[in-house]
Structure 1
């Protein structure tokens, strides 16, 4: 590796995670985001010799990444969750609707891909900022990313660059080659639109907090032990379940429990591994096959509050999705 190559890697590699988070917020797909981060680094490498330092390297990379995202967004519509397509299903006893392959679905992002976790055993010499970690988690929560998809690409980009990433109006104006007044106008329209489509803010719990971990354990135990009472205790009265990949979702604890009763099976049918996605507690889900092994089905992401679980978003994807979380595609049967 040449000295120039080493310098490029040294200066740009520490920004990879935050660039992935930015592209994910823009696109709603971690796969697309990863591809565009790679494209960003390729474009940056090709132009690195002409980089004159008129802006910071971080600003320069964000300009490249944002423009790549805007180009990608021109090719398709917004990504959604089932609740963004219509009202809740009225009959939880009916089978979920067929997979809607024509819909571009919002996908989850593993926390580990976009944050530098601070170990619980970290001492006072650890220089990572907990506030910065919490800010990243907040900015990739499913409800916010889903709401961002309603904004036109330019509005989405300006809102994220200004209010999530903290770039000045002047810096954003330079990225897009427009006036500062234009950036302020776009930001104003983006805020107004987000207020229209974003759900009311809830008092969500950080996934590392004891109560959040307890709710996740209770949810997992409910499935693994086929314990409907445990699930009823964990869910809030206004809880919802979304089945990504279909247009089906349910609202209200009683309705959700009627649906869960159909899928919970017998003790041992389900196996779940705790993880984190979108700054929220999550569980990788496995179901017992006829051969007795547990095969990966997908990931369930929980929205948790001090009063219980308010939403369960179920993402299919099988072994491929579960592998993104660093987890195996199957588990042997338990004795």
Structure 2
């Protein structure tokens, strides 16, 4: 049932009709902005704008397309005066000396943020829909999207990820079909240049992926570099988001890890899912023997081993986004992480 133009909108009707799209709109805004915090703010802004305009919605497009139009244009406005968010590997070459401590956070760099799968994975019984959503949220793709100008990014996501027709995308962005096709072609070319070579990345729920995550966690908790060596591929990389430091090659990565693993029992970890990838929430033991929230390691896993570990330090604030407590002794992984 469509609201009558100019009529006072019914709050219950609005909520019933629009809430089913909240999760996918959050995923869309995250892909646009590469920031979970900003994406949540923009989804709230989208729903506020939609509520204010709901009485004038005439149904010339689907409600879903109408909401995406509002969300996309809100993201484009937010991106007007902001540079791209990045991972360390997108800013500089790998560090030469894994024995030196990484440089401190650079306040002038906007860093890409992770997002919990529990917030953006479709509430669907269709495995194909879940797999497609995870693939479109992987860190490598999200980082690559940042190389595109904002409108090209919007066109690529609306056409390639969400499969809206070119005419509908043109209407959303207030442009022509020809301009949409041209922007899509330029976006594809740029992504081919910026994106890493295609890897046979496996689903985080695949038994082999879960085994590698368990091996990574066990190796870290036991300060067992041999276990980590078996899990990592020879070309593996580690990125420390918040610094310019990243390391390339298993030998170099293991040298770095020997400095951070400490002694057996210093770390405790909980498996979770982030950006459609297996991840480990890490807790570090302090001087009082308490394992406090430290950060998150997101693994890129292939059939031949772990190819990268992207580390985000965020303490209890980051853990809270994943539904995890600030201290490990009380931590239990949410059941939804095994979905």
What TM-score comes out, normalization by structure 2 length? 0.94
User: How far has the Cα of 1:331 moved from its partner?
Assistant: 2.3
2:266 to 244, 266, 269: 269
Distance 2:126 2:13 in 1: 26
- Residue segments in structure 2 that go unaligned for 5+ positions in a row: 1-7, 331-339
Measured against aligned partners, the alpha-carbon deviations of 1:172-227 in whole angstroms (never above 9, x if no partner) come to 01111211111101111111111111111110010000000000000000011111
2 CA distance for matches of 1:22 and 1:109? Answer: 12
Q: What's 1:123 paired with?
A: none
Unaligned runs of 5+ in 1: 118-126
Question: Is 2:143 aligned against 1:146?
Answer: yes
Please show how residues 282-297 of structure 1 align to structure 2 within 5 Å. Answer: 282-297=279-294
Give the Cα–Cα distance (whole angstroms) in 2 for the partners of residues 90 and 253 of structure 1. Answer: 13
Alignment correspondent of 1:75: 81
The one of 56, 61, 64 aligned to 1:58 = 64
Corresponding position: 1:240 with 2:246: no
SS for the counterpart of 2:10 is helix
The correspondence of residues 125-274 of structure 1 with structure 2, limited to 5 A, is 128-274=125-271
Q: Which runs of 4+ in 1 moved over 6 A?
A: none
The aligned length equals 324
Cα separation, 2, equivalents of 1:144 and 1:331: 31
Tell me the alpha carbon deviations over residues 227-283 of structure 1, each in whole angstroms, 9 at most, x when there is no partner.
111000000000000000000000000000000011111111000000000000001
In 2, distance between residues paired with 1:246 and 1:106?
Answer: 12
Residues 81-96 of structure 1 aligned to structure 2 (within 5 Å): 81-96=87-102
Aligned to 2:337: none
Contact conserved, 2:9 with 2:54, CA < 8 A, in 1? no
Computed over aligned residues only, the root mean square deviation of the Cα atoms, in angstroms, reads 1.3
Change (3 A) 1:207 1:194: same
Which among 277, 299, 304 is matched to residue 301 of structure 2?
304
Distance 2:174 2:136 in 1: 26
| Contact residue 111 and residue 276 of structure 1 kept, 8 A | yes
Instruction: Verify the 8 A CA contact 1:88 1:249 in the aligned structure 2.
Output: yes
Q: Secondary structure of 1:173's match? A: helix
- Find the partner of 1:34 among 15, 40, 48: 40
Per-residue CA shift, 1:113-149, capped at 9, x if unaligned? 00136xxxxxxxxx62110110000000000000000
- Return the alpha-carbon distance in structure 2 between the equivalents of residues 112 and 188 of structure 1: 33
- Residue 21 (structure 1) aligns with: 27
Q: Which TM-score applies when normalising by structure 1?
A: 0.95
In structure 2, the CA distance between the partners of 1:97 and 1:54, relative to structure 1 (3 Å rule), is same
CA shift, 1:3, in A, is 7.9
SS of corresponding position for 1:36: helix
| Contact 1:292 1:332 (C-alpha < 8 Å) held by counterparts | no
SS of 1:159's partner is helix
